Amino acid sequence: MTDAILETRGLVKSFGALRASDGITLDLRPGEIHAVIGPNGAGKSTMIKQLSGNIAPDEGTVHFLGRDVTGLSTMARARAGLARTFQVSALAMEDTVLQNAVLGALGATSSPYRFFRPALKKAELRDRAMAALERMGLAGHAATVVSELSHGQRRQLEVAVALTLQPRAFLMDEPMAGLGGEGSQQLTGILDRLRAEAPILLIEHDMDAVFALADRISVLVYGRIIATGTVDEIRRSPEVRDAYLGDAE
Amino acid sequence: MSRERLLGAVVLLALGLVPLAAHLMGEPFTITLATRAAILALAAVGLNIALGLGGLVSLGHATFFGIGGYAMGILASHVQNYEPMFEWPFLFEGSTSMPFIWLVAVLASALVALLIGLLALRTSGVYFIMITLAFGQMFYFFSISWSAYGGEDGLSIYVRNGFPGLNTLDPIQFFGLSYAVLCIVLLGAHLLARSPFGLALGAARQSPDRVQAVGLDPKRLRLVGFVISGAITGLAGALFADLNRFVSPTMFSWQTSGEIMVFIILGGVGRLFGPVVGAAVFVMLEHWLGDMSEFWHIWLGLLLLAVVLFARGGLVGLIAGREKAHD
Amino acid sequence: MTPILIAEQVLNGLQSGVMLFLMAAGLTLIFGVMGLINLAHGSLYMVGAFAAAATAAVTGSFLLALVAALAAAAAAGALVERLVIRRLYDRDHLDQVLATFALILIFSEGTRWIFGSFPLYLDIPEALSGPVTLPGGIQYPLYRLFIIGMGLVVAALLFWLIARTRLGIRIRAGENDREMIAALGVDIARLYTLVFALGAALAGLAGALVGAIQSVQVGMGEPVLILAFVVIVIGGIGSIEGALVGAILVGLTDTLGGIFLPQIFGLFMDPAAATQTGAALASMAIYVLMAAVLVWKPTGLFGAKS
């Protein structure tokens, strides 16, 4: 428990009669990729929004780096080192790739309330942004406007912007969504190397990617975690087969 | 230099040269028209920061335009009437100095923008439009019922306020001053758009989720953008009042808000020179169409409708292409 | 300050509130169903008033004038919807604001072109003129009572229309889920034209009814439009109940504030200053009300949670 980077205890969130989170307890440990899988409507999005601070839980707590962050905003959590990627790319579509990455560097390193010197000419912002782009293989596209990127490149940029925060943990909401086999494989390789830097809580539908990457898997069904374990344990678990693999695949 | 920049430079240069030519040919009315265009462009440059950069559809920028105007009117009228504004804690007789009036106009509009922004930015979308429009109307009715400063009739200031080293009553000198202010503010707006703040505010318009996820507060960015925007439009209001040597509740009216927005749309939203092109075209149309037909607003309406429905990107977009400059 | 005066002013406030409701209901319906912000709604109010005044001048019949107002505003609404508005449903709010602002310019100047710049007058019909004595000895103009009654009847009809009729079901479905009603085989284009014309007719009726108390002139619609926006912000966008409650609140605040604030200030200021300060503050009262609602409930009293 003590060495967990990110940890939730008994998260409950209801929307009317629907209990979207029904006592979720899980943790993310250093160096691991912890995948959360579950059928559609299991409450994965609701869970990640409580982790990132977009919605507040009705009950339960979220701890990050040993601190209770349950009452903190998304912004405060991001500044504390919790980086998030979105299921549907949330990027400044009219801006260039570099501008998007510089935005991340700006959030991580300095105040945005500077009004005169061009953002792209600030060496500390630019270097940090370019380093992240290079790692995601986007350095050659720095001057490209995001709306002209391919879907796969946008997914990579999502991760690159998260990288500029030099985070202590990643929350990734279906980073493989909409990627073809090749793109998905490429991103799998990148995430594989990323875990050494900061652990990843990964929500993902792509089972090949999950089984290839995850150190541990939690299975979320109707707002509850019904099993947590290694890839093999989850594959063998009869409850998981019944509740999830059984009817979903 | 991109086509957009080139077009902007040409228009700005033309705006500067036409009055010079008019001055040499002894046509002061043309100079006044150009001054009007420059000041209205300034008001629109202000709105463009909220609207183009921040995506805040403010239909209440007449509020700031009017506050700037009344800052001039109130300060100058006390001097004109030899009635001190207040005697405690020190004697203050008002002011006829443009730099001081501008300072008051900018600070007062910024303060009001802060208050309106705090309320209106609790909401978004259509609510924001309606609320800014409503607060504009509030100032309009307030100025009508506040009889100490002219009420419905407004305030006439007989002598244009002074600027050190200039004879502001000479049309070409007052034009030069207004034009210089416009150029300085344009340069500021250009720097702002590329600055860290501009980058963050622009991103907050395009993807507030992303801005939050990197640890920045989109609401606070918008609020600061709205305040800067209001302050610039307030400065334009003070100049406009000095141009006419008259302020009235009309400066606060919803039509004024609409027209400031129209300048931007005619020119092109979010484009540096859009407001300049739009204001210049508007003043020319007002002058020429107004001469031809008493009902020139019909033609303006049809033109505006055509631009909105068929020429998104405004006139700058039509000429320079839809793609905006990136740098 | 007598109870009779207070009762009179409450009735005046109610009357202006009920008229505001007719405006706000159309606006909120159009926004709820089509997602459109329509600045030109005030123009339709003006069209109704001018149609009524012109018809009354020719025929001398107030009833025909009201019918003409309804018909002219609905027709103008349907026409504008077909020609312009339907191109705006998929646009952002900025485009909607600008295009409908352009429509205001066209409507206003067009009306000035046809009718000239001088105000027209619409007379209160014989049968409705003069005061009546209400219980408690209050003398109150019959016509204003008629307006209140008319407004309440229309409000009741509107609630019935939306809650009980097939059109109402479609309108409510349209507010919730556009694809759903398309899937049900409803002709959306026709539904939208109908809703827009309905909203326009309500505005036109309000314009005609109010036109008989005030003068009928170009530009009469926009102040009412902005008040209706205040109503909607207070009541919550898309909510007809909110529009009713908000309209009454705004009507009462505006009327009572204008009368009583100067008197209240008169208690501790000299009369001239009290009148001036009171009037200035009264002009701000409804906006203060709006600000208070915004602080308390940003999406309005009856608005959906964001």
pLDDT per residue over C229-250, tens digit each? 999 999 998 889 999 999 999 9
Least confident range of B109-113, B184-188, C196-200, C210-214: C210-214
* Residue C286 located in a structural domain: no
B-contacting residues of C 257-296, CB under 8 Å? 276, 279-280, 282-284, 287, 290-291, 294-295
* Mean pLDDT across C135-148: 90
Spell out which residues of chain A touch residue B191, defining contact as CB-CB under 8 Å: 115-118
Average pLDDT over residues B177-203: 97
CB atoms within 10 A of CB A150: 10
Interchain contact, B206 vs A92, CB within 8 Å: yes
Query: Do the strands A216-221 and A33-37 form a parallel or antiparallel pair, or are they unpaired?
Result: parallel
Count of positions (residues) in chain B: 327
Residue C168's pLDDT is what?
86
Number of domains in chain C: 1
pLDDT digits (tens, 9 = 90+) for A112-145: 999 999 999 999 999 999 999 999 999 999 999 9
pLDDT surpassing 90 at residue B14: yes
Q: Percent of chain A, pLDDT > 70?
A: 96
Is C243 within a domain? Answer: no
User: How many domains would you assign to chain A?
Assistant: 2
Residue B50 DSSP symbol: I
Q: Mutation target for B interface from C34, C108, C109: give the one with most B CBs within 10 A.
A: C109
- What was the pLDDT predicted at C199? 96
Interface test with B, best of C27, C30, C89, C97 (most B CBs within 10 A): C97
pLDDT band for position B323 (50/70/90)? low
Token pair listed for C142:
């019959």
Q: Which helix (H) or strand (E) holds B52?
A: none
Measured between alpha carbons, how far is B154 from B253 in angstroms, rounded to an integer? 13
- Is pLDDT of C38 > 70? yes
**Is residue A11 one of the residues assigned to a domain?**
yes
Residue of B nearest to C28 (CA): B126
Contact assessment for residue C196 and residue C78, using Cβ atoms and an 8 Å cutoff: yes
Residue of B nearest to A164 (CA): B214
**Helices B296-310 and B274-292 meet at what angle, rounded to 10?**
140
Is B197 in Cβ contact with A93 (below 8 Å)? no
My answer on whether A54 and A173 are in the same domain is: yes
- SS3 per residue for chain A: CCCCCEEEEEEEEEECCEEEEEEEEEEECCCCEEEEECCCCCCHHHHHHHHHCCCCCCEEEEEECCEECCCCCHHHHHHHCEEEECCCCCCCCCCEHHHHHHHHHHHHHCCCCCCCCCHHHCHHHHHHHHHHHHHCCCHHHCCCEHHHCCHHHHHHHHHHHHHHCCCCEEEEECCCCCCCHHHHHHHHHHHHHHCCCCCEEEECCCHHHHHHHCCEEEEEECCEEEEEECHHHHHHCHHHHHHHHHHHC
Average pLDDT over all residues of chain A: 90
Could you tell me the residue range of the domain that residue C172 belongs to?
3-220
pLDDT above 60: residue A249: no
Residues within 8 A of C (CB atoms), B 261-320 only: 261-262, 265, 269, 295-298, 300-302, 304-305, 308-309, 312
Q: Which residues of B touch C274 (CB under 8 A)?
A: none
| Banded model confidence at residue C306, pLDDT cuts 50, 70, 90 | very low
Q: Do A103 and B211 touch (CB under 8 A)?
A: yes
What average pLDDT is seen over chain C?
90
pLDDT at C12: 93
Nearest chain B CA: its distance from A154 CA (Å):
13
CATH number at residue A39: 3.40.50.300
Confidence of residue C172 (pLDDT cuts 50, 70, 90): confident
Contact B215 A52 (CB under 8 A): no
Lookup: tokens for A169 = 């943990």
- What does the alpha-carbon distance between residue B292 and residue B294 come to, in Å, rounded to a whole number? 7
Are A203 and A146 within one domain? no
One domain for residues A25 and A138 = no
Copy the structure tokens of residue B255.
Answer: 């039509």
Look at residues C247, C238, C246, C250 and name the one whose alpha carbon lies nearest to residue C303.
C238
Nearest by CB to C99, which of B120, B146, B309?
B309
Query: Which residues 210-249 in chain C show a CB within 8 A of chain B?
Result: 222-223, 226, 229-230, 232-233, 237
Asked whether the predicted pLDDT for residue C56 surpasses 50, the reply is yes
More confident residue, C199 or C124: C199
Q: Do A77 and A118 lie in a common domain?
A: no
Which residues have C-beta within 8 Å of that of residue A172, sequence separation ≥ 6? A84, A85, A159, A162, A191, A200, A201, A202, A203, A204
Burial class (CB in 10 A: 0-12, 13-18, 19+), A76: middle
Q: What is the pLDDT, as a whole number, of residue B322?
A: 57
Interface list for chain B against chain A, based on CB atoms closer than 8 Å: 191-192, 194-200, 202-203, 206-207, 209-217, 221, 224, 324, 326-327
Q: What is the pLDDT of residue B1?
A: 52
Average of pLDDT values for B185-192?
Answer: 96
- Is the CA virtual torsion C246, C247, C252, C257 positive or negative? positive
User: Cα–Cα distance between C295 and B118 in angstroms, integer?
Assistant: 9
Instruction: Name the domain boundary from A100, A122, A150.
Output: A150
B241 within 8 A of B68, measured Cβ to Cβ: yes
When pLDDT is cut at 50, 70 and 90, the band that residue B167 belongs to is very high
Tell me the CA end-to-end span of chain A in Å, nearest whole number. Answer: 33
- Whether residue C97 lies inside any domain: the answer is yes
Confidence band for A1, pLDDT divided at 50, 70 and 90: very low
Q: Which domains does chain B have, with CATH numbers?
A: 3-320 (1.10.3470)
Across the interface, of B134, B298, B300, the residue whose CB is closest to C233 is B134
Residues A63 and A182 in one domain: yes
Alpha-carbon separation of residue B141 from A104, B74, B157, C20 (angstroms) = 45, 17, 22, 18
Q: Which residues contact B278 (CB under 8 A, 6 or more apart)?
A: B41, B44, B262, B263, B264, B265, B266, B267, B268, B314, B315
Find tokens 């898309």 and name the residue.
C238
pLDDT band for position C305 (cuts 50, 70, 90): low
Chains C and B touch (3+ CB pairs under 8 A): yes
Give me the interface pTM, i.e. the ipTM.
0.91
Helix (H), strand (E) at residue C131: strand C131-134
Q: Could you tell me the CA-to-CA distances from A113 to A119, B228, C52 in Å, in that order?
A: 11, 12, 56
**Which chain B residues touch C99 with a CB distance below 8 Å?**
304-305, 308-309
Residues A183 and A208 in one domain: yes
Residues A136 and A99 grouped into a single domain: yes
pLDDT above 90 as % of chain B: 78
Which of A108-112, B200-204, C207-211, C244-248 has the weakest average pLDDT? A108-112
Whether residue C151 lies inside any domain: the answer is yes
Average pLDDT of chain B, as a whole number: 92
- Does A75 share its domain with A175? yes
What average pLDDT does the segment C261-281 reach?
84
Question: In this predicted model, which residue has the larger pLDDT, A173 or B88?
Answer: A173
Structure confidence at residue C127 as a pLDDT band (50, 70, 90): confident
Residues 97..116 of C with a Cβ closer than 8 Å to B: which?
97-99, 101-106, 108-110, 112-113
Q: Is the confidence at residue A52, as pLDDT, over 90?
A: yes
Q: Collapsing DSSP states into helix, strand and coil, what is residue C216?
A: strand
Residue A172 inside a domain? The answer is: yes
Domain membership of residue C293 (yes or no) is: no
Whether B192 sits inside 8 A of A115 (CB atoms) is yes
CA B159 vs CA B80, B83, B179, B241: distances in Å: 9, 16, 20, 12
Residue type, B14: A
Average pLDDT in the A41-51 region?
91
The partner residues of C133 in beta bridges, in order of sequence, read C139
Q: Supply the range of the domain harboring residue A95.
A: 91-150
B152 touching chain C per CB within 8 A: no
Tokens of B209: 């989720």
| Closest C-alpha among C246, C242, B210 to residue A54 | B210
In a shared domain, residues A99 and A207:
no
State whether A172 and A71 are in the same domain: yes
Using the predicted structure, report yes or no on whether residue A95 has a pLDDT greater than 60: yes
* Same-domain check for residues A15 and A64: yes
Please check the confidence at residue A191 and state whether its pLDDT lies above 90: yes
Burial category of C295 from C-beta neighbours within 10 Å (exposed 0-12, middle 13-18, buried 19 and up): exposed
Question: Is residue C268 assigned to a domain?
Answer: no
Indicate if A191 and A242 belong to the same structural domain. yes
> Does residue C300 sit within a domain?
no
Give start and end residues of each alpha helix (H) in chain C. Answer: 3-34, 41-59, 62-83, 93-115, 142-164, 166-176, 178-183, 188-211, 221-235, 240-266, 271-282, 285-296
Q: How far is B308 from chain C (nearest CA, A)?
A: 6
CA-based nearest residue in chain B for residue A142: B327
> Which three-class secondary structure state does DSSP give residue C58?
helix
A158 located within any domain = no
Place of tokens 């631009």: B307
Interface of B with C in 102-131 (CB under 8 A): 119-120, 122-123, 125-127, 129-131
Calpha distance A88→A164 (Å, rounded): 19
| Least confident span in A104-108, A229-233, B256-260, B310-314 | B310-314
Compute the distance between CA of residue A187 and CA of residue C259 in angstroms, rounded to an integer: 70
Q: Which of A59-68, C105-114, C172-181 has the lowest mean pLDDT?
A: C172-181
Measure the CA–CA gap between C193 and C204, rounded to whole angstroms.
Answer: 16
Tell me if B216 and A107 make a contact (CB, 8 A cut-off).
yes
